[in-house]
């Protein structure tokens, strides 16, 4: 039961995290005229402030000492911090430079990279329908890349950086709030130093654009911390391949915003590529529903068989005939 509850909590956390990330393109343009690097530095600084407050409120600091004595985990979290810095900075620049659709392509590629890492590095298994969906997704990515007429470097860097981030968080096996605390602590001093340097040069926008702009820059901590905490909670509770499938929520939302809100160009070949992506998602949804039905059928078949082995009043236990599996006829592949 505990495992089921953990998986349910992980799924809910994943849905919430990717839904928030999908809407973030509406937020970054509000921070102009600050540049991408300045916004990135504020994300690092204010995120640590947010998680520090959460730790104090929740009184969750007993983990710090034991973690400091585990250099392997610290090293993994340090790598995670480095990769997410690349991801954060490039994504902010892409959104504020009119590349929202190309950024969404990166997050369509990212689940494929994540699934590949789960299979190749962690030994996770995919069902045949999942393999078919992944193959369709690969074809979609190729069509979309050809449509751009050049290597989609923004998309590729976003994909590989975030997939690597997820992998090292998975291996570190540290809670979402705890891992984010370490990651932002690693990034805090360089970010703060950069902001101080901007202030000394007179090019910082923190205090030069009014109180509203200052408040928005400070809110980057909340906007950054909340979905990352949810993602961290999901990453240690559900398989990496499931994380890869959930990630499609983010690029769908980004794509819709890029086309309908930011009015970025969508030539026919890009529409064809996205149609393939949606076909892959349809296959994944169908497979998930079918698997859920099989699991329920198997559970219902096991319960009567379990009752049949119970001892009746005043008698011996009733045994199930040898060779008759309680779940026979309801095969479920893991």
3-state secondary structure the chain: CHHHHHHHHHHHHHHHHHHHHHHHHHCHHHHCCCCHHHHHHHHHHHHHHHHHHHHHHHCCCCCHHHHHCCHHHHHHHHHHHHHHHHHHHHHHHHHHCCCHHHHHHHHHHHHHHHHHHHHHHHCCCCCHHHHHHHHHHHHHHHHHHHHHCCCCHHHHHHHHHHHHHHHHHHHHCCCHHHHHHHHHHHHHHHHHHHHHHHHHHCCCCCCCCCHHHHHHHHCHHHHHHHHHHHHHHHHCCCCHHHHHHHCCHHHHHHHHHHHHHCCCCCCHHHHHHHHHHHHHHHHHHHHHHHHHHHHHHHHHHHHHHHHHCCCCCCCCCCCCCCCCCCCCCCCCCC
Highest-confidence segment of 245-249, 258-262, 275-279? 258-262
Domain ranges of the chain: 11-299
Q: How far is CA 99 from its chain centroid?
A: 20
Is the predicted pLDDT of residue 303 greater than 70, yes or no?
A: no
For residues 311 and 152, the model is more confident at 152
pTM of the model: 0.75
Q: Is the separation of the CB atoms in 266 and 147 below 8 Å?
A: no
Residue 167 token pair: 């992998």
pLDDT at 165: 87
Q: Which residues contact 30 (CB under 8 A, 6 or more apart)?
A: 216
| 109-113, 157-161, 321-325: range with lowest mean pLDDT | 321-325
**Stretch 76-82: mean pLDDT:** 91
pLDDT at 218: 94
Is the predicted pLDDT of residue 25 greater than 60, yes or no?
A: yes
Residue 140 token pair: 């979609």
Q: Is the separation of the CB atoms in 95 and 25 below 8 Å?
A: yes
| 104-113, 215-224, 299-308: range with lowest mean pLDDT | 299-308
Residue 51 token pair: 């998680």
Q: Would you give the end-to-end CA distance of the chain in angstroms?
A: 18
């Amino acid at each position: 039961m505990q495992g089921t509850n953990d998986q349910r909590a992980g799924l809910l956390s994943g849905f919430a995290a990717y839904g928030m990330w999908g809407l973030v393109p509406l937020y970054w343009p509000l921070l102009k005229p600050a540049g991408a690097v300045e916004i990135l530095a504020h994300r690092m600084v204010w995120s640590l402030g947010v998680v520090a407050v959460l730790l104090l409120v929740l009184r969750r600091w007993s983990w710090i000492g034991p973690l400091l004595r585990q250099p392997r985990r610290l090293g993994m979290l340090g790598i995670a911090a480095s990769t997410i810095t690349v991801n954060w900075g490039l994504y902010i620049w892409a959104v504020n430079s009119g590349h929202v659709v190309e950024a969404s392509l990166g997050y369509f590629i990212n689940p494929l990279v994540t699934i590949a890492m789960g299979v190749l590095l962690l030994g996770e298994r995919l069902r045949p329908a999942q393999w078919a969906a992944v193959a369709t997704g690969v074809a979609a990515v190729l069509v979309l890349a050809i449509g751009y007429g050049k290597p989609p470097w923004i998309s590729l860097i976003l994909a590989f950086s975030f997939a690597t981030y997820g992998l090292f968080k998975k291996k570190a096996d540290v809670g979402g709030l705890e891992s984010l605390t370490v990651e932002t602590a690693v990034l805090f001093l360089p970010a703060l130093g950069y902001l101080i340097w901007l202030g000394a040069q007179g090019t910082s926008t923190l205090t030069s654009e009014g109180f509203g702009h200052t408040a928005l820059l400070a809110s980057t901590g909340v906007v950054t911390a909340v979905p990352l905490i949810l993602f961290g909670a999901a990453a240690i509770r559900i398989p990496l391949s499931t994380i890869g499938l959930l990630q499609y929520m983010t690029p769908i939302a980004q794509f819709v915003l890029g086309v309908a809100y930011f009015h970025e160009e969508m030539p026919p070949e890009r529409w064809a590529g996205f149609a393939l992506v949606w076909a892959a998602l349809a296959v994944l949804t169908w497979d998930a529903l079918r698997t859920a039905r099989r699991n329920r059928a198997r559970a219902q078949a096991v319960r009567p068989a379990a009752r049949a082995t119970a001892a009746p009043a005043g008698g011996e236990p009733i045994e199930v005939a040898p060779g008759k599996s309680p779940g026979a006829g309801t095969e479920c592949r893991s």
